[in-house]
A and B are shown apart, each in its own frame.
Chain A
Amino acid sequence: MKEADFRDNESLELFKQSGGNILMTTIDAVIDWGRSNSIWPLTFATSCCGIEMMATGASRHDFARFGIEVYRASPRQADVIVVAGTVVNKMAPVLKRLYDQMSDPKYVIAMGACAVSGGPFFYNTYHVVRGVDHVIPVDVYVPGCPPRPEALLYGVMQLQRKIKLESMTNPRKTEELK
């Protein structure tokens, strides 16, 4: 992605045009820069996409360069949950509980066709949740079966762009799902 596109945020432009507080925008910029460049994920991999996620973390496509330095095993310490793999009916309450245990601000990347929409297991099966957004709100969808490591890195960059949009006067609301 070109750097010019990376920094191009329509919402930020609108905010600046509407005459937002200069002090707040500087603080926001610093906070958002810090948050987007050090997103630490939770170890959550259910099936095949987990292997591609591990390969993205390995030495060839290193995602520590993007700020994903370590994986945290405990949801209380993680920022993002990368749902890699199929989510089935039995696992859905577990996923919801993990998401609830994460502290704000928290983000979700749905990786792979199964997490986006049920994937190859869409027809004729009785136990698959068709898309993890039935359970938790998703920020970035990364399609593919499995997505290449480069695709996951692009997804992470999109998430970084989304984080840079946040500001203290317009905080991100995580919706309460019923």
Chain B
Amino acid sequence: MKEVIHLPVQNVEEEEYHINMGPQHPSTHGVLRLVVSLQGEIVKSLKPHCGYIHRGIEKMCEKDTYPQIIHLTDRMDYLSAHINNHAVCMLVEKALEVEVPERVKYIRTIVDELNRIASHQLWWCSFGMDMGGLTCFFYGLRDREKILDIFEESFGSRLLHSYYTPGGLMMDIHPDFQKNVKAFIKYFRKKIKDYDELLTGNIIMQLRTQGIGILSKEDAISYGVTGPSGRASGFACDVRKHHPYGVYDKADFKEILGTKGDTFERYMMRMDEMLESMKIIEQLIDNIPAGDHTAKMKAVLKLPAGEYFQRVEAARGELGVYVVSDGNKSPYRMKFRSPNFSNLSVLDHISRGCKIADLVAIGASLDYVIPDIDR
């Protein structure tokens, strides 16, 4: 008969070990390195390492003129490129006390909202893809192509248009713009129901996101988390409502606030925001006044000496542009308060205690775009 050998069983305590979700990773939405300290599968703490796409945009702005800076701000948060440009243009116009024509304000607001929808569509694609549902990727990008077609017809390129310029727009919109936008909204209202059927009601998605990554309202304010992620925790921070610009005061839309602040709430914020954006566009698209597409500006723009600050609501949060000018044609110091930078700082706080697979879901719901963090 065989002897049964009993091996001594040691009481091994689980030690903490570090893994590296390195800069090249399919689901970090860019080049972000997270050094995650795990105990088993539970996240104990994490440290983000940024700077893998730090291009020195703020230093470059000190040598460029204001119209040239538009091309750089495009590439910061490239998914809400128009909104970044809007901030810089408004800052220059306010400093030079130039009144842009009403037509320009209407077109800028409509294009901003289209950009917001396009950005949220891409967010939805990558949210589904990160959690493993690859179908979302194709559905979202198919519908995003329709918006990019509208942009290409009027502005000339699909991504990164540099369409706004201090004083107005670079060129007038295409005559078919209004018709195409209305057709898109009719089309997308039907498709967004598909999105809900595909992902929102999915039991796996709900189990993976409800109750995960809870952010309280005080923490959201203290960490400076704005945008849909902050509003999901109840922080009323929509710049379009509290410090209106463009023609947002003429459109009737709700500021959607959540209560729980978990991943599912942040998801629902963005889905509802897409519907609100469509509502804003519908109210404004038929009322674009006739007029010039730009105000009269000098060839060389020199801002008077002093400081200026402009806040806008980008797709991911509040973008602030702070300029210290000494009277030259380039700013002395240009600082971008980027929404993703503050949103990332809260990742450590809310992911403690959850599993590593949940970390991916939380990161997808915070929706950060890394070049905006690193500038």
- Give B232 Cβ to nearest chain A Cβ, in Å: 25
CB pair B122 A51 closer than 8 Å: yes
Interface residues of B in 16-30 (CB under 8 A from A): 22-26, 30
Task: From the candidates A44, A55, A120, A128, name the one contacting B24 in the complex (CB within 8 A).
Answer: A44
Interface centre among B25, B26, B137 (most CB of A within 10 A): B26
Q: Judge whether A145 is part of the interface by a CB distance below 8 angstroms.
A: yes
CB pair A88 B78 closer than 8 Å: no
User: How many A residues face the partner with a CB closer than 8 A?
Assistant: 35
CB pair A58 B145 closer than 8 Å: yes
Q: A48-B78, A123-B60, A146-B160 are in contact. Are A91 and B122 (CB under 8 A)?
A: no
Interface centre among B55, B57, B144 (most CB of A within 10 A): B55
- Bound form: Cα–Cα A72–B80 in Å: 28
- Bound form: Cα–Cα A84–B31 in Å: 12
- Give A43 Cβ to nearest chain B Cβ, in Å: 5
Closest to B52 in A: A91
Task: From the candidates B30, B55, B137, name the one contacting A127 in the complex (CB within 8 A).
Answer: B55
Task: From the candidates A51, A90, A121, name the one contacting B159 in the complex (CB within 8 A).
Answer: A51
CB pair B23 A91 closer than 8 Å: yes
Q: Judge whether A98 is part of the interface by a CB distance below 8 angstroms.
A: yes
Number of A-B contacts (CB under 8 A): 103
Closest to B126 in A: A54
Task: From the candidates A46, A54, A59, A125, name the one contacting B52 in the complex (CB within 8 A).
Answer: A46
- Bound form: Cα–Cα A8–B253 in Å: 60
- Give B54 Cβ to nearest chain A Cβ, in Å: 5
Q: Judge whether B75 is part of the interface by a CB distance below 8 angstroms.
A: yes
Q: Which residues of A contact B24 (CB under 8 A)?
A: 42-44, 94, 98
Q: Judge whether A148 is part of the interface by a CB distance below 8 angstroms.
A: yes
Q: Which residues of A contact B370 (CB under 8 A)?
A: 47
CB pair B55 A88 closer than 8 Å: yes
Task: From the candidates B51, B60, B75, B138, name the one contacting A58 in the complex (CB within 8 A).
Answer: B138
When each residue 64-100 of chain A gets 1 if its CB lies under 8 Å from chain B and 0 otherwise, what string results?
0000000101000000000001101011001000100
Could you list which residues of chain A lie within 8 angstroms of chain B, going by C-beta atoms? 42-48, 50-52, 54-55, 58-60, 71, 73, 85-86, 88, 90-91, 94, 98, 120-121, 123-128, 145-146, 148
30 A-B pairs with CB atoms under 8 Å apart are A43-B25, A44-B24, A46-B30, A46-B53, A47-B371, A48-B78, A48-B159, A48-B371, A51-B78, A55-B145, A55-B148, A58-B138, A58-B145, A59-B138, A59-B141, A59-B142, A60-B141, A60-B142, A71-B26, A85-B53, A86-B53, A88-B54, A90-B51, A98-B24, A124-B63, A125-B57, A126-B56, A126-B59, A127-B54, A128-B55
Could you list which residues of chain B lie within 8 angstroms of chain A, going by C-beta atoms? 22-26, 30-31, 51-57, 59-60, 62-64, 71-72, 75, 78-79, 122, 125, 137-138, 141-142, 144-145, 148, 158-160, 370-371
